[in-house]
Amino acid sequence: MLVSQILQTKGDAVFTAKPHETVEAASALLLARRVGAMVVLDGEEKVIGILSERDIVRAVAEGGVEALKRPISEFMSAEVVFADPTESIDSLLARMTDRRIRHLPVCRSARLVGIVSIGDLVKAKIAEAEAEAAHLKQYIAAG
């Protein structure tokens, strides 16, 4: 299964933020939208970072409650790892495990077209395995 197939199912909505927004505002948006990360875009809509719950915890641990008033650009992960819509689930699972990350923005021709989480990939992998098992059961039953 390819990333593009996951995006067809889950949709291509990506929650984004600007680098000058505060950690507090970003935290409230993550909570309200029930997501674990948001992509940070510059004024030209170019991806310049990703802010995850892990980044926010690190910010508060390092800077105390005052960190919530600081811009997310100070705490976002600026080294963004991307996915391509034509990549397989297996290759992304390996990359995410190696890099210890849980979210990958998906870009086509340098344009943001979606985001996938480790949960999205695991869900798709389970569905794929269940479909294969059902097919094998049907094949065996048909004799």
Q: Model-level pTM?
A: 0.85
Q: How far is CA 87 from CA 19, 45, 117, 142, in A?
A: 29, 23, 14, 34
pLDDT above 80 for 143: no
First to last CA, the chain: 28
- Domain ranges within the chain, ordered by starting residue: 3-142
Q: What is the token pair recorded at 126?
A: 């389970």
pLDDT at 110: 80
Dihedral sign, Cα of residue 92, residue 42, residue 114, residue 14:
positive
Helix (H, G, I), strand (E, B) or coil at 14: coil
pLDDT in tens, 104-115: 999 998 889 999
Fold held by 3-142: CBS-domain (3.10.580)
pLDDT in tens, 43-94: 888 999 999 999 999 999 999 999 999 999 999 999 999 999 999 999 999 9
pLDDT at 29: 95
Tell me the C-alpha distance between 10 and 113, whole Å: 12
